[in-house]
Structure 1
Amino acid sequence: MSIDAGTLQTPVGLFTGQHVLAELEGVEASLLDDEQFLRDTLHSALERSWATVCDVMAKRFDPQGVTVLALLSESHASLHTYPEKGSIFIDVFTCGDQAQPERAVELLAEALCPSSVHSQTIRRGRDQDTELA
């Protein structure tokens, strides 16, 4: 584990994180095909969840569907939409313990108003208290 030389108490570069995978169904097709809405909604949800957004890019597919990728200081987030099915895959992975990826998914769900949400969180890496060998 690295130690911030400025404080000698705050660990940096912790090898720990949370990876949230979610599927939302029953979402209005027009929302899932609106590239700008999805970009803005993802960016806002991430910032409101204490993630640091470095960049957001998106691609709208013909005849429908959008993929949005966000590069975070803490890692990444992505959306993959299926307007014809009213469904979206969400993936938010953040390293460290400041960002709240579960909250980001909750905020996305609030904005998209799905009829169902299936989400799981995978803890990755090591606990802060675990020394690397």
Structure 2
Amino acid sequence: MHGLHLTADLYGCACAPTLLTDAELLGAQCVQAVADSGLQAVANLFHTFPATAHGPGGVTATVLLAESHLCVHTWPETSAVTLDVYVCNFGGDHSAKAHALMGALQALFKPDRCSVNGLVRGL
């Protein structure tokens, strides 16, 4: 086993507010970003959480990839998003595609600051 696991914490996201609260809208954007990066979606699940006293409910969007997964969590009350992109590199190196997907999602949310981490797995 060998792979690349990228994570990002996005703050001050200046995207359309509905992107942080509408599961179907966010899901469609995720599936398109996966395709545009050259990765292959095989299944997905998109869920909007109920509103609370703190504000509107956030979204979790998960796309199962032939290469592994993408998971996005939104916090509309703080304009924050976490991203998780993991690709297995067994049989081929998908690292560039993982970086392309991460970059596309960062651009989509338009954060004013972010923290990105990468971990090579299974050395």
Q: Aligned pair 1:56/2:51, yes or no? A: no
From the two aligned structures, give the one with the greater helix fraction: 2
Unaligned runs of 5+ in 2: 52-56
Q: Secondary structure at the match of 1:43?
A: helix
Deviation readout 1:29-67 (Å, 9 max, x if unpaired): 432112122101111111122211001111100101000
Alignment map for 1:95-106 (pairs within 5 Å): 95-96=88-89, 97-98=93-94, 100-106=97-103
Question: Whose Rg is larger?
Answer: 1
What's the Cα RMSD here?
Answer: 1.3
User: Highest relative contact order (Cα 8 Å, sep 6+), 1 or 2?
Assistant: 2
The runs of at least 4 consecutive aligned structure 1 residues that moved more than 3 Å come to none
Unaligned runs of 5+ in 1: 1-14, 127-133
TM-score (norm 2): 0.84
In the alignment, is the contact (CA less than 8 A) between 1:102 and 1:121 conserved in 2?
Answer: no
Alignment map for 1:16-31 (pairs within 5 Å): 16-28=2-14, 29-31=17-19
TM-score (norm 1): 0.78
Aligned residue for 1:86?
Answer: 79
Aligned residue for 1:117?
Answer: 114
Q: How many matched pairs?
A: 112
Separation in 1 of the partners of 2:88 and 2:37?
A: 13
Aligned residue for 1:35?
Answer: 23
